[in-house]
Amino acid sequence: MRIRISYKKNLPLRFTSALDIQSIWERTIRRDGLPLAYSRGFHPKPKIQLGLPLPLGFISDDEKVDIWLEKDIKINNHANNLQLKLPDGLMIKRIEEIMEKEKPLVTKLVSSEYLIKLWDQSLLGNNYNALIASILKKENIIRTKRNGKKYNLRPLIYDLRNDVCEPGKSDYSLYMKLASAQNRMGRADEVMFALGFSLDEFLVLRLRSNSYE
């Protein structure tokens, strides 16, 4: 049986890595007594697959994890118990059973949407719209990856604006939609750096990820 859990990752776990999040799900599933499936071989590993690993320091309203179980169960009966065993900062939105042969989530994603909160709203300044416009007019925004390779960030920006229209998100200042395909991945923090902000001046919320289906 393969299940998909949709969940939120909030501020208490902002600096928890994707690998640690996967370990949290493993411990939570085992603590609830669910029959977690393992890979075969000399070093069996739990069959848990994060949809799109969240960069360190980001929070999210829309994360997903696929988990394989050794046998069929009525998973909805376990939703409340799983939530009680999770640490502060992870909140289950829904649990669903999916087809065993369905492709991994990450292979179907095309884009992700982000909201940005500035810790100091005065950083916006009077020239904020002009700054966004100047970024969108550029053909090339060259950034450097951690491995030292340079890439062009501009084609990875699908939308960038400061009119956030999400209900209940009035404290966020900026909306952006970026590429999230396997070989075309735009990072929201890199866009903020290109706009002239430093890491300690903003918080990134991944609002949702979009697939081609």
Say whether both 12 and 86 belong to one domain. Answer: yes
Residues 114 and 46: their CA atoms lie apart, in Å, by 30
* Percent residues over pLDDT 90 in the chain: 66
Same domain? 41 vs 78: yes
What's the mean pLDDT when you consider all of the chain? Answer: 91
- Structural domains in the chain (count): 2
Mean pLDDT of 124-137: 82
pLDDT value at 195 more than 80 = yes
Question: Based on the domain organization, do 207 and 116 belong to the same domain?
Answer: yes
- Residue 73's alpha-carbon distances to 7, 85, 96, 165, in angstroms, are 20, 19, 12, 40
Domain final position from 71, 87, 102 = 102
One domain for residues 151 and 201: yes
- Domain membership of residue 70 as a residue range: 2-102
* Residue where a domain stops, chosen among 76, 102, 128: 102
Q: Is the confidence at residue 213, as pLDDT, over 60?
A: no
Boundary (domain end) residue, out of 54, 70, 102: 102
How confident is the model at residue 165, as a pLDDT? Answer: 87
Specify the CATH number for the domain of residue 164: 3.30.70
Q: Are residues 112 and 204 in the same domain?
A: yes
Q: Specify the pTM.
A: 0.91
**88 lies in the same domain as 51:** yes
Assess whether 94 and 145 both reside in one domain.
Answer: no
Q: Give dist(CA 24, CA 136) in Å, integer.
A: 39
- For residue 33, the domain's CATH number is 3.30.70.580
177 and 193 both lie in a single domain: yes
